[in-house]
C-alpha cells in the first residue's frame, strides 16, 4: 500500500484530519463537525483493532487521568461542591478525549490514513496558519525586527500565545522530517516560516516549546551539539535579562507567580477532591481565568489522584516511545515532549480547546507509532 491512499476512503480521511487541524487554532464550527465524524469513525474498528498496542496504550494512558477526573466530578456533585462541573460536560469530555483519539487511530489502522498522509495533513493545515501569520506581519504598519515582544502576531488564531504554540509544533514536525529529507525545499520554507511565526508571536513559551522538541530530535550527544545548546541557552538568558523593549515582562512574571501561589493554596484546601473542571475562574480571589499550567489545573480541578495518573500516563508513553528506536517514534516523542512543555507553561488539558485538540492528536499518533510498520516518517515512502 502506498503512503498516500487514492481510494475515496483515504481521500475522505485525509481531508477530515486536515479540516480538524485547520479549524483547531481559530476554533471554527468545522472543528466540532470534524470531531463528531472522527468519533463516528470508531464504529469502523474491527475486533483486532481493539487488541492492538496502539488502542490499548491510548486507552490506558487516557484512562489513568480521565477516570480520576470523572470520579472526582461525581463526588463533587454528591458532596454539593458549588463549583462542580455540569453533568453534561462529562460525556462531552469523554468523547473529546477518547472518541476523537480512537477515531484517528482507527483510521490509521484501517489504512485510510497512513503516518505519512496524517503528517502531511497536519503540515498542510498548519502551513495555512503559518502563511496567515506572515500576512499578519507584512500588513502590520509597525512591523519591526526590534519590536519582538510588542508586535505579537496572531494570525487566524487571534491570540499570540496559541499561535506561537502551533507554529512551534509546525517547526518541530518540519525539522523532524528534514533529518532524512534535506532536499525538500517546501519543508525548509515551512520550517523558516514557522520559526519566524514563533518569534513574531512574542511568546516565550513557544520558544521553549521549540527548544524542547529540537533537543529531543537533535540531542546533545557530542561536544559540538552541547556547545551549541549551551550557547543558545546563554543567548536566551542575556536577551531575557537585557532586553528593555518589553516593559510588560516583569509584570507578567509577577502575575504568574501570584497565579501559582493562589493555585497551590486552593489545591492545599481540597487536595483529593479538587474544585471541579473550569472552577478556577469561579473561586474567590482568582487573578486570571486559569492557572496556565496543565499540572496545576489538573490538581486544582480534580485532585492529586488525577495529577498522579497524568504523570504516570506521560511517563509510560515517553518510555514506550523511547524504547522504539525508530524515526517515526523519535519524531512522535519530540512532538509529545514539546506539547508537554507547552501545557506546562500555558494550557489545560481539561479546559483549553486549543491544547485539548493538540493533546488528542499528538497522543493518538504517538500511540499508533508503537504498532506502525517500521518506516521513516516521510511524506513519501
Instruction: Establish how many alpha carbons lie within 13 A of residue 284's alpha carbon, considering only the half-sphere containing its beta carbon.
Output: 1
Alpha-carbon distance 77 to 52, whole Å?
36
Residues 6 or more apart from 25 whose CB is under 8 A from it? Answer: 129, 155, 156, 157, 162, 163, 166, 354
- Per DSSP, which regions of the chain are E strands? none
pLDDT of residue 381: 43
Question: In the chain, count of helices (H) and strands (E)?
Answer: 16, 0
Taking Cα atoms as reference points, which of 61, 28, 25, 33 lies closest to residue 370? 61
Alpha-carbon distance 368 to 373, whole Å?
10
Computed on alpha carbons and rounded to an integer, the radius of gyration of the chain in Å comes to 21
Residue 95 gets which letter from DSSP?
A: I
Q: Tell me if 22 sits within 8 A of 128, measured CB to CB.
A: yes
Three cell numbers at 194? 514557522
Distances (CA, A) of 108 to 198, 206, 262, 341: 30, 29, 43, 27
CA angle at residue 173 from 170 to 177, to 5 degrees?
140
Three cell numbers at 361? 492528536
Alpha-carbon distance 63 to 270, whole Å?
22
Kindly give the confidence (pLDDT) of every residue in the chain, 381 residues in length, as a single tens digit, with 9 standing for 90 and above. Answer: 445 656 888 999 999 999 999 999 999 999 999 999 999 999 999 988 898 889 999 999 999 999 999 999 999 999 999 989 999 999 999 999 999 999 999 999 999 999 999 999 999 999 999 999 999 888 876 665 555 566 788 889 989 999 999 999 999 999 999 988 888 999 999 999 999 999 888 888 899 999 999 999 988 777 777 888 788 777 766 665 555 445 555 566 688 888 899 999 999 999 999 999 988 888 888 888 888 899 999 999 999 999 999 999 999 999 999 998 888 899 999 999 999 999 999 999 999 999 999 999 999 999 999 877 654 444 544
In 258-271, which positions are buried (b, 16+ CB within 10 angstroms) versus exposed (e)? ebeebbeebbeebe
Using CB atoms within 10 Å of the CB of residue 12, give its burial: 0 to 12 exposed, 13 to 18 middle, 19+ buried.
middle
Q: Tell me if 39 sits within 8 A of 33, measured CB to CB.
A: no
Using CB atoms within 10 Å of the CB of residue 286, give its burial: 0 to 12 exposed, 13 to 18 middle, 19+ buried.
middle
Alpha-carbon distance 337 to 356, whole Å?
15
Alpha-carbon distance 293 to 282, whole Å?
17
Amino acid at each position: 500500500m502506498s503512503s498516500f491512499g487514492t481510494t475515496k476512503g483515504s481521500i475522505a480521511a485525509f481531508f477530515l484530519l486536515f479540516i480538524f487541524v485547520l479549524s483547531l487554532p481559530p476554533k471554527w464550527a468545522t472543528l466540532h463537525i470534524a470531531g463528531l465524524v472522527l468519533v463516528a469513525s470508531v464504529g469502523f474498528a474491527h475486533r483486532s483493532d481493539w487488541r492492538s498496542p496502539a488502542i490499548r496504550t491510548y486507552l490506558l494512558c487516557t484512562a489513568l487521568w480521565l477516570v480520576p477526573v470523572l470520579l472526582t466530578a461525581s463526588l463533587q456533585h454528591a458532596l454539593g461542591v458549588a463549583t462542580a462541573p455540569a453533568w453534561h460536560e462529562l460525556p462531552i469530555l469523554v468523547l473529546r478525549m477518547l472518541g476523537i483519539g480512537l477515531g484517528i487511530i482507527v483510521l490509521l489502522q484501517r489504512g485510510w490514513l497512513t503516518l505519512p498522509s496524517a503528517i502531511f495533513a497536519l503540515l498542510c493545515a498548519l502551513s495555512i496558519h503559518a502563511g496567515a501569520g506572515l500576512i499578519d506581519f507584512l500588513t502590520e504598519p509597525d512591523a519591526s525586527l526590534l519590536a519582538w515582544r510588542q508586535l505579537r502576531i496572531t494570525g487566524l488564531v487571534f491570540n499570540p500565545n496559541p499561535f506561537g504554540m502551533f507554529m512551534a509544533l509546525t517547526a518541530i514536525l518540519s525539522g523532524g522530517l528534514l533529518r532524512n529529507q534535506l532536499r525538500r525545499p517546501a519543508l525548509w520554507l515551512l520550517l523558516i516560516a514557522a520559526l519566524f511565526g514563533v518569534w513574531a508571536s512574542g511568546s516565550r513559551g513557544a520558544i521553549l516549546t521549540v527548544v524542547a522538541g529540537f533537543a529531543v530530535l537533535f540531542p546533545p550527544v557530542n561536544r559540538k551539539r552541547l556547545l551549541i545548546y549551551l550557547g543558545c541557552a546563554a543567548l536566551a538568558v542575556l536577551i531575557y535579562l537585557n532586553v528593555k523593549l518589553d516593559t510588560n515582562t516583569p509584570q507578567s512574571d509577577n502575575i504568574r507567580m501570584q497565579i501559582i501561589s493562589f493555585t497551590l493554596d486552593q489545591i492545599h484546601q481540597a487536595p483529593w477532591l479538587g474544585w471541579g473542571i473550569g472552577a478556577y475562574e469561579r473561586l474567590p480571589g482568582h487573578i486570571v481565568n486559569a492557572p496556565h499550567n496543565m499540572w496545576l489545573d489538573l490538581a486544582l480541578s480534580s485532585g492529586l489522584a488525577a495529577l498522579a495518573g497524568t504523570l504516570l500516563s506521560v511517563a509510560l508513553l515517553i518510555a514506550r516511545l523511547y524504547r522504539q528506536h525508530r524515526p517515526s517514534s523519535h519524531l512522535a516523542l519530540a512532538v509529545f515532549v514539546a506539547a508537554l512543555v507547552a501545557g506546562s507553561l500555558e494550557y489545560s488539558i481539561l479546559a483549553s480547546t486549543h491544547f485539548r485538540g493538540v493533546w488528542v492528536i499528538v497522543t493518538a499518533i504517538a500511540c499508533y507509532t508503537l504498532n506502525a510498520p517500521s518506516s521513516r516518517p516521510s511524506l513519501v515512502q
